[in-house]
Structure 1
Amino acid sequence: MTGHDRPAAGFARAQDGTALAYQHHGQGPPLVLLAGQANNHHWWDGVRGDFHTVRSTLTLDLRGTGDSGKPEGPYCVRQFADDVVAVLDALGIARADVYGTSMGGRVAQHLAIRHPQRVGRLVLGCTSPGGAHAVERDASVRRSLAQPDAQAVRRVLADLMYTPLWRAAHPGPYHTLGDPRMPAHARRGHLIASNGHDAWSELPRIAAPTLILHGGQDRLTPPDNLALLASRIPGARTHLFPHARHAYFEECRNEAGKLVRQFLTGEN
């Protein structure tokens, strides 16, 4: 199947039979875009078109989100990485560049570790190595995200994602605050999967050229994780957006998009 005749959307099947919804936009070599925890492919709506001058973009709804199946679980990031491979197989894509942010960056790490032949260039955004070596969010952030009022949690998430100045100029709606259609068991499964991530010992096995991006004011995944990842991934390049929060890819869209495009095409 060539890039010109791949369907724009459809379903693949995971190894356990779970339906995996995917969305393919544009023409050219594929760039897989992986969203954050408990979010569907709409996470990328604001920026995916920025890559279409150099790549087509392939998103998927990870199990538990969007139009994909929502099995009881358990879920883990290694399983999510294998699900990405199932989508690539269904579309006849032997190798793709990969850009993962937040939990999607954790999935991308395992994809590059477990399936190195499937990953061309790798971009990791606002993510961490996980485990004991990671720098975790502080207790006040955890408490604010654990409150029972769903609307209050969305307000907290919006503040963690974007600076007040940017939100004032961009009143939303925001696509990074969680998939509202997720059942409770899938939401818990994503949280457990993300918390269970630990790639520290395996990161030196990543052979793909790697670019690591992070917001300097990120309290959801503290920016010290950028240097930790770079210290473990051979030859990794880094860039910090000093005034951005977790969703740097939207708030610093022009700069971040340009950096990623240049990296994908070997211009930097």
Structure 2
Amino acid sequence: MPHASTIDGTRIAYQVRGEGQPLVLLAGQSNNHTWWDPILSDFEGYRLITLDWRGTGESDKPDEVYSTRGFADDVVAVLDDLGLDSAHVYGTSMGGRVAQWLAINHPERVNALVLGCTSPGAAHGYERSQEIRKALADPARTDRVLLELMYTPAWIAQNPGPYYVLGDTSMPSYAKGRHLVASNKHDAWDGLPKITAPTLILHGSDDIFSPAANAQLLADRIPGARAELIAGARHAYFHEFRSVASPAVLSFLRTEDRA
């Protein structure tokens, strides 16, 4: 598996599949590239680039401060290693937070931007309730609570797993803590109006993990951005509702490819 070296010497594992225009897929907090495995086939015709965040998968796991801004620099290191000047970027959950910084700080590297089930950060965004936070903090309930935040009960009943969005079980505990702090401290509010990439924002209408109201909030803040809610979907809209979400992303990207 190839690795890119960052400015601080951390090695970031990445994966490349397919041919065509490059599309970088950024996973959620405490997850590695397998987050995207169930839907990679939806994006045939693109050169798909995924990566393992520092602290996850086959990437290095330094016990030091992580940040969403720093994760964006790690993505740049991957693009550099591949010799790519720019790419489309699709980030979900914490990956959407990282994608915001990528588009703010490295505008020349982002051709088109898709932000999924994400927010501008706690300072200005809509946050999950204290009840949800307490439930997720209970080790005996965490996986079940998280699963029900990701998917509808009907989908869970019909799909016994494996599930790809519940976290990288190989992560050391300190890295999980570093990821949590990085996501919680995200605040890109002041930079969002500087985004120049065409931007599509997707969100499940029934998402209470990252409340759906964040979608329009981001759209109002990013010049020219458009928000779409996927009816009935929870946080993992991109998986359970792939028949709606993936075509929406593809239609947007193909429009930008023709521009």
TM over 0.5: yes
Work out the CA distance in 2 between the residues paired with 1:157 and 1:61.
21
How many Å separate the matches in 2 of 1:62 and 1:13? Answer: 13
Counterpart-to-counterpart distance in 2, 1:125 and 1:171? 24
Q: Residue 179 of structure 1: CA displacement?
A: 0.3
Identity within the alignment, %: 59
Are 1:112 and 2:66 an aligned pair?
A: no
Task: Report the TM-score when normalising by structure 2.
Answer: 0.97
Asked whether 1:250 is paired with 2:239, we answer: yes
Contact 1:131/1:200 (<8 A) preserved = no
In structure 2, how many angstroms separate the alpha carbons of the residues matched to 1:236 and 1:111? 16
How many residues of Structure 1 are paired with residues of Structure 2 in the alignment? Answer: 257
TM superposition score normalised by structure 1: 0.94
Shift of 1:133: 1.1
Q: Which segments of 5 or more consecutive residues in structure 1 lack a partner in the other structure?
A: 1-8
Matching residue of 2:145: 156
What code does the residue aligned with 1:25 have? R
After superposition, residues 17-96 of structure 1 pair within 5 angstroms as 17-53=9-45, 55-96=46-87
Question: Which amino acid letter does the alignment assign opposite residue 216 of structure 2?
Answer: A
Distance in 2 (CA, whole Å) between partners of 1:38 and 1:132 is 22
**Which amino acid is the alignment partner of residue 13 of structure 2?**
A
Q: Does the 8 A contact of 1:94 with 1:118 survive in 2?
A: yes
Instruction: Tell me the distance in 2 between the aligned counterparts of 1:99 and 1:73.
Output: 26
Deviation (angstroms), 1:254: 1.1
| Inter-partner Cα distance in structure 2 for 1:131 and 1:214 | 17
Q: Of residues 182, 200, 204 in structure 1, which corresponds to 2:189?
A: 200
Give the distance between the partners of 1:241 and 1:194, measured in 2 at CA: 24
Equivalent pair of 1:131/1:199 in contact (CA under 8 Å)? no
The one-letter code sitting in structure 1 at the alignment partner of 2:212 is P
- The one-letter code matched in structure 1 to 2:226 is R
CA displacement at 1:172 relative to structure 2: 0.9
Distance 1:93 1:135 in 2: 35
Kindly indicate whether the alpha-carbon contact (under 8 Å) linking 1:40 and 1:62 is maintained by their aligned counterparts in 2: yes
Residue in 1 aligned with 2:168?
179
The answer for the alignment partner of 1:5 in structure 2 is none
SS in 1 for 2:190: helix
CA distance in 2, matches of 1:233, 1:108: 13
* Deviation of 1:148 (Å): 2.8
